[in-house]
Amino acid sequence: MKLLFIADIVGQPGRRAVKQLVPHLRQRHGLSLVVANGENAAGGSGITVNTAQEIFAAGVDIITSGDHLWDQKEVMGLLDGERRFVRPLNYPTGTPGQGSTLFQAPGQPPVAIMNLQGRTFMAALENPFHAALAEVERLRQTTRIIFIDFHAEATSEKVAMARMLDGRVSAIVGTHTHVQTADEQIFPGGTAFLCDGGFTGPHESVIGREIEPVVRRFMTNMPQKFEVAKGGVRLQGAVVEIDEQTGRATGIERVSESLEPSF
């Protein structure tokens, strides 16, 4: 089976890229499942029920999130019962929402999707390593096909997580930095890894935002309004091929698809 992971969708340009490109990618790769990180989908920060529904309607099966989870109050409408929406697993017990979910396409085995958030240079949530080990063992009672979106800043934290879980999960793709890395590989135990999938949205930008306000912030250290940029829209992420019997990855390919400009 083949799974497409779409890295951080940023604002309306990112949602437009998903809408226009996902149907072609499904056909080209013969995809069984599409997972997308949507934590920046609503105006470039956070996610709402309406933006999530737009992403689902575009062909995405499961949406993951990250440190901008709480930026839109409407997110509670997703956390309170949307089984296709996943927040970082390592929030404290009692936090609304779920840290993993199961998806099963017709004629396919179930796939577990998990979301984790790192702690290095980020908010201090519960330890993602301990949380991941316990949840992976629980999920493996149901399926050997497990995909993880690890939303983290530090490269070392992402690599360490993937090395720890090698052979226990099918794939780990990192998100959060919005810069696609060129280190896709399959570890000895059969776990596919990409340190960061990049982002889906306007690349004529500073990681999705208009260039000049970000430069002014660095030059002056004064507050600026960071609007979502518009140009150079791309869909980024990775396609992972997984053996349905063993849950081991047999291939991983970076994706970086341009969206033709609309006039």
pLDDT > 70? residue 183: yes
The residues that are catalytic are: 68
The whole-number pLDDT of residue 261 equals 61
Unique residue bearing structure tokens 């604002």: 11
User: How far is Cα 138 from Cα 2, in angstroms, rounded to an integer?
Assistant: 23
Residues 196-212 have pLDDT tens digits of: 999 999 999 999 999 99
The predicted model gives 149-166 an average pLDDT of 98
| DSSP labels, the chain | -EEEEE--BBHHHHHHHHHHHHHHHHHHHT-SEEEEE-TBTTTTSS--HHHHHHHHHTT--EEE--TTTTSSGGGHHHHTT-TTB---TTSPTT-SS-SEEEE--TTS--EEEEEEE--TTS---S-HHHHHHHHHHHHTTT-S-EEEEEE-S-HHHHHHHHHHHBTTBSEEEEESS----S--EE-TTS-EEES----BEE-SSBTTB-HHHHHHHHHH-------B--SSEEEEEEEEEE-TTT--EEEEEEEEEEPPPP-
**pLDDT category, 263, cuts 50, 70, 90?**
very low
pLDDT > 80? residue 258: yes
The predicted model gives 228-253 an average pLDDT of 97
User: How far is Cα 242 from Cα 52, in angstroms, rounded to an integer?
Assistant: 27
The predicted model gives 190-195 an average pLDDT of 98
Percent of the chain with pLDDT over 90: 96
Please report, as a single letter, which amino acid is at residue 119.
R
Structure tokens at 53: 């529904």
User: How far is Cα 69 from Cα 220, in angstroms, rounded to an integer?
Assistant: 29
The predicted model gives 241-245 an average pLDDT of 97
Average pLDDT, the chain: 96
The predicted model gives 219-236 an average pLDDT of 95
The predicted model gives 127-135 an average pLDDT of 98
Residues 100-125 have pLDDT tens digits of: 999 999 999 999 999 999 999 998 89
For the whole model, what pTM was predicted? 0.96
Domains, the chain, with CATH or none: 2-258 (3.60.21.10)
Longest dimension (CA), the chain: 57
User: How far is Cα 121 from Cα 136, in angstroms, rounded to an integer?
Assistant: 25
Asked whether 141 and 112 are in contact (CB, 8 A), the reply is no
Asked whether 78 and 52 are in contact (CB, 8 A), the reply is yes
Percent of the chain with pLDDT over 70: 99
Q: Which residues pair with 258 in a beta bridge?
A: 234
